[in-house]
């Protein structure tokens, strides 16, 4: 089994729920698990992973991973919202996976709402993490295509095309397919026959 994984998908693709399920299953089988998340993520709780499905798991909130060292008996490290960590933090996770022989499973977004890859996600790809795409459908009414992008909206419903990409919450975001992203973000309409 690979020891460094990146489970990525759009918002609402059940990444946190999958992390909690894996934490439960590893723990149930007698494996010591540690769950961490960025201290930046205070949406639901400072010390828990909370899925929109209503399931919860305790977590350690960390501002960065420079001094982090899992317990010697830990077998699995699960990392939520990995996109909010730095590239140096990803290198710390690589050292934990390779030098301490821990399974490290990261969960998060690949790209921001401007189609730019998050630095932490890019670093996970560069260091050879095993990639696992988590799928969800487009959140535009009636669309059944796979969601691949995020749109961010202001209070008036206008698409935001610039600004800080380290924003929490999903109340002003929608996960959309590429076609809806291109139509709403770029103004490119799909040709009809």
Residue given tokens 């690979």 in the structure block: 2
Q: Is 4 exposed, middle or buried (0-12, 13-18, 19+ CB in 10 A)?
A: buried
Catalytically annotated residues? 81
Contacts of 133 (CB under 8 A, 6+ apart): 8, 9
Measured at the CA of 124, the angle between CA 71 and CA 122, to 5 degrees, comes to 145
Please name the helix (run of DSSP H) or strand (run of DSSP E) that holds residue 176, with its range, or none: strand 173-176
Concatenated DSSP letters of 1-54: --SEEEEEE-TTS-HHHHHHHHHHHHHHTT-EEEEEEETT--SS-SSEEE-TTS
Concatenated DSSP letters of 53-91: TS-EEE-EEES-STT----TTEEEEEESSGGGS-HHHHH
Strand 48-50 to 130-134 pairing: unpaired
């Amino acid at each position: 089994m690979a020891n460094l994984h990146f489970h990525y998908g759009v918002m609402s693709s059940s990444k946190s729920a999958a992390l909690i399920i894996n934490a439960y299953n590893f723990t149930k089988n007698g494996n010591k698990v540690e769950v961490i998340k960025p201290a930046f993520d205070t949406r639901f709780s400072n010390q828990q992973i909370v899925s929109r499905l209503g399931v919860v798991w305790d977590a350690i909130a960390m501002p960065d991973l420079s001094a982090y060292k899992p317990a010697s008996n830990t077998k699995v490290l699960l990392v939520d919202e990995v996109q909010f960590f730095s590239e140096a933090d990803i290198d710390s996770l690589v050292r934990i996976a390779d030098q301490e022989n821990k399974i490290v499973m990261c969960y998060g977004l690949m790209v921001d709402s401007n189609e730019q890859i998050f630095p932490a996600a890019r670093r996970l790809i560069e260091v050879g993490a095993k990639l696992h795409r988590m799928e969800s459908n487009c959140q535009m009414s009636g669309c059944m295509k796979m969601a691949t992008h995020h749109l961010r909206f202001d209070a008036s419903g206008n698409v935001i095309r610039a600004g800080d990409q380290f924003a929490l919450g999903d109340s002003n975001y929608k996960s959309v397919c590429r076609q809806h992203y291109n139509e709403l973000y770029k103004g490119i309409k799909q040709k009809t026959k």
